Amino acid sequence: MHARTRIALGAAGALAAAGILAGCGEAGSSGAEAPQAAATGAGCAPVAGDQLVVLEDDQKLQNTDNIVPAVNADAATPELIAALDKVSAALDTERLIQLNRAVDVDRQTPAVAAEEFAAANGLTDGIATGPGGELTVGAANFSESETLGELYRIVLTAAGYDVTVQQIGNRELYEPALESGEIQVVPEYAATMADFINNKIEGADATPISSPDLDETMSGLRRVGEQVGIVFGEPSAAQDQNAFAVTSEFAEQYGVRTLSELAEKCSGAATVLGGPPECPQRPKCQQGLEEVYDFRAGEFSSLDAGGPQTKTALTTGEISVGLVFSSDGELAAG
């Protein structure tokens, strides 16, 4: 999994993982920690396997972090927005997983993976030519963002622009550059960007404007974006957000495909939840599983944020369920 600085663990869907918080309870064996609340059932012991499956978030714990083009208002011509919307129309989460797999597993460059995707999906077909000129597409410092930036480069080039993709870093760096016009376009994540801009305007303790409802999230995002000179194209169906995965063998053995089924069948002492150290206290991780689904794990194992530690612990049968990112190239559809 590519390294990320964005993970929906904090309140309001703020995806930058902040300081490491102490886990709840006393440390157990093998890095496992005592559960936040008592689990009374037998639970579901880990089951090793080669393939990971994301459980459906059927009660909408996570917010709508759909990929959406963000554009400096002064650069936002109708032709530019229409070209970027071609990318949004072609993307869903499964296709995003395949793009990430091409880069992170098959080791293609983001540019090559984007060119192949664009050709296979006719992204440049029928694109209207805009006024032209130079554009810089900013990308965050993880491979998914770079690949999306290359897709934007392809369609904007077809629309008559001279386009450069520039990796800038995290949102704290590229969002001001987008506001000022130093860069003109960035691939963004709707819920995260909505709360980021809102917090910038209203302060860190602002009431969240992101929502599990995409229309509500986009309405809030467009409203705050207008205040800072950023407009947004159409959101794609593709999402990159917190998700919870099990092995295919676990899903088959226990008959679990959704988080509601996980809570119903697997709350109990044998179930081990794995995730980053701050997971037990965060509303989009263990705390949210308990509050929204009434899921009670028997143990919590402190690992990483959707990275190799968590995925290895799943495949080797050390944890029952683990926090991952929904567009990880190593995942299969649930």
**Do 82 and 223 lie in a common domain?**
yes
Asked whether 63 and 220 are in contact (CB, 8 A), the reply is no
- Domain of 128: which CATH number? 3.10.105
Domain boundary pick from 232, 264, 290: 232
223: Cα separation from own chain's centroid: 22
Tell me the average pLDDT of the chain: 88
The one-character DSSP state at 11 is G
Model confidence at 170: pLDDT above 90: no
Does the predicted TM-score (pTM) go above 0.85?
Answer: no
2 in a domain, yes or no?
no
> Do 76 and 57 lie in a common domain?
no
Residues 57 and 72 in one domain: no
Contact between 308 and 41 under an 8 Å Cβ cutoff? The reply is no
Report the C-alpha gap between 319 and 316 in whole angstroms.
Answer: 8
> Quick one: 99 and 125 in the same domain?
yes
pLDDT by residue (tens digit) across 145-165?
999 999 999 999 999 999 999
Same domain, 197 and 292: no
Question: Band of the pLDDT at 332, cuts 50, 70, 90?
Answer: low
Is 55 within 8 Å of 289 (Cβ atoms)? Answer: no
pLDDT at 21 over 60: no
Q: Are residues 130 and 257 in the same domain?
A: no
The domain in which residue 33 lies consists of: 11-61+241-332
Mean pLDDT of 241-258: 96
Give yes or no for residue 301 having a pLDDT over 70.
yes
Q: By percentage, how much of the chain surpasses pLDDT 70?
A: 87
Residue 275 and residue 216 share a domain: no
- Sign of the torsion angle spanned by Cα atoms 144, 150, 153, 158: negative
pLDDT tens sequence across 187-223: 999 999 999 999 999 998 999 999 999 999 999 999 9
